[in-house]
Chain A
Amino acid sequence: MKKLINNVDDVIADALKGIELSDDNVRVDHEHRVIYRAEKTRQGKVAVISGGGSGHEPLHGGFVGVGMLDAACAGQMFTSPTPDQMLAATSEADGGAGVLHIVKNYTGDVMNFEMAGEMAADSGVRVETVVVADDVAVQDSLYTAGRRGVGLTVLLEKIVGAAAEEGRDMDGVLEIAHRVNAGGRSMGMALTSCTVPAAGKPTFDLPDDEMEIGVGIHGEPGRHREPLSSARDIAKQLVDPILHDLDFTGAPCIVMLNGMGGTPLIELYLMYGEVVRLLDDAGITIARNLVGNYITSLDMAGCSVTILKADDEILALWDAPVKTAGLRWGV
């Protein structure tokens, strides 16, 4: 597999150098692999931080900046960061009003953030956690690891970041976070596997005429495999399980059509058109949308759909100014 890299072991360190050089609005702690806003957290503002395995760019580092995250920890490729990274980010970003950890629901992420939260609490910082679990491809159950956190993370980081920027206190920020978490669902699919640089070969084999439905964002196989079909049919296979899981009628919705990293934008727009047609038929109001590569899986081809049941307050937070490498408007 051909990659634009120097050495498999240096991919993340080298990329962090490029990120720092590309954006004056952030600074990078290379030792702990944390991306911070260039300016320190304003005193009295709730700090919102996230982190996760690398390979999902622009998530999370590309969402650090005014109106969104205060800091993001970069783990190894597809591997949760470690507690000491998160502890460093938590202490550094704290503006005295507490720190919210946004965690995608994966065993590794949850356990590492949990350990970091325990350590931070020992040092007197108030840490709260919201665990995003929006992937309807995974059966939810008390006896399993539960649903994965995927596309909704992007919308949640934007909306919750705006709430913190407005000066809401920790309880207010948490309330919004829980509301967004409860109202969002996602479903993804893959046309190809991705190739992790250290592995050097695709994570799974997928014949040219087949696709995986219900994939996550780490090149893990999905719920089932089937013959490749039309964009119209694929859109239906993504939208139906989402609508089946939650009633989205009667509220303004935010819809994201996300690329997995290896699919051209023209196909993402085509897919968005198919999704809108289905949502129209189902009587769902699309108030805002986002089309592009926002939470990726390296070079995987494919896409995911996220729908968030919003309200006027959430829409206002969505529209609030944001100035990050990955999302930028109103500034």
Chain B
Amino acid sequence: MGRVNTNQSASVATLVEWLHQFGSLVEQNKGYLTDLDSAIGDADHGSNMARGMTAVLNQVADPGAADALFKKVGMTLVSSVGGASGPLYGTFFMRFATGLGDGTEVTPEALVSSLRAGLDGVISRGKAELGDKTMVDAMTPAVVAIEGSVASGESLADATRAGAEAARRGRESTIAMVARKGRASYLGERSKGHQDPGATSTTYLFEALAASLDGV
């Protein structure tokens, strides 16, 4: 578990722990993510994400400043994943990096605005809207929930727990949607009834964040 100090900031060590937790969730659920992608995509989301996170975790031993670390994480994802999720997760982390500052502690406010910047990056790169059955349907409610909790003075642990819960609900909501973006959109109505693989991996991202900040 990463440590969170008394003024509630998240240390770079905690954020690295987040990446490790995310990597493990992706690795454990690689087959599941690929199965979800078989139903409405091309059966590669699990292997894409696992390849990317393996490359990322090879680079975080000596993390340094928060912004430089996450810029590197984003670039590593872009250059190792390919597919739709490479540019999307890569852009998420590169934009996330810009709000973190060059220190080794990140305040709750900076974390929140960085998450928002990451989400905005995903939306401008992929042009998906809420309800299109993509990772945006899990990421948007998660970021909104964390923003709300932090604004009302909750701890990062509680806020990110609420974020994970919102991501899970968003993920579930993709089941009933007809896909309008990504490969699943080619199926039209047939995409209904299936959970979106990207919204599923995004839920792991927020569950990992909550797990790394647990125990404040």
Contact = CB atoms under 8 A, between A and B. Distances in A.
Interface of A: 53, 75-84, 106-108, 111-112, 114-115, 137-139, 143-145, 148, 196, 198-199, 203-204, 216, 218-221, 223-224
B71 interface: no
Q: Which of B39, B83, B126 has the most chain A CB atoms closer than 10 A to its own CB?
A: B83
A14 to B, nearest CB: 17
Interface of B: 34, 38-44, 47-48, 51, 78-88, 125-126, 180-183, 185-188, 190
B127 to A, nearest CB: 9
Nearest to B48: A79
Q: Which of A108, A137, A199 has the most chain B CB atoms closer than 10 A to its own CB?
A: A108
B123 to A, nearest CB: 13
Given A203-B43, A218-B42, A220-B187, A79 B83 contact: yes
B180 A82 contact: no
A77 B46 CA distance: 13
Consensus secondary structure, chain A interface? loop
Contacts of A77: 44
Contacts of B81: 79, 82
Contacts of A79: 42, 44, 48, 81-83
Closest 3 CB pairs of A and B: A218-B42, A108-B83, A108-B84
Given A115-B87, A145-B181, A75 B186 contact: no
B87 A221 contact: no
B186 A138 contact: yes
Contact of A76 (B38, B39, B51, B88): B51
Contact of B188 (A111, A139, A143, A216): A139
A7 B107 CA distance: 46
A91 to B, nearest CB: 15
Contacts of A204: 38-39
A218 B182 CA distance: 13
A219 B79 contact: no
A82 B78 contact: yes
Nearest to B45: A79
A204 B41 CA distance: 10
A196 B44 contact: yes
Contacts of A221: 40, 187, 190
A112 B87 contact: yes
A111 B198 CA distance: 16
Contacts of B42: 78-79, 196, 203, 218-220
Contacts of A108: 82-87
A279 to B, nearest CB: 26
B47 A137 contact: no
A107 B82 contact: no
Contacts of B86: 80, 82, 108, 112
Contact of A145 (B40, B78, B185): B185
Contacts of B82: 53, 75-76, 79-82, 108, 112
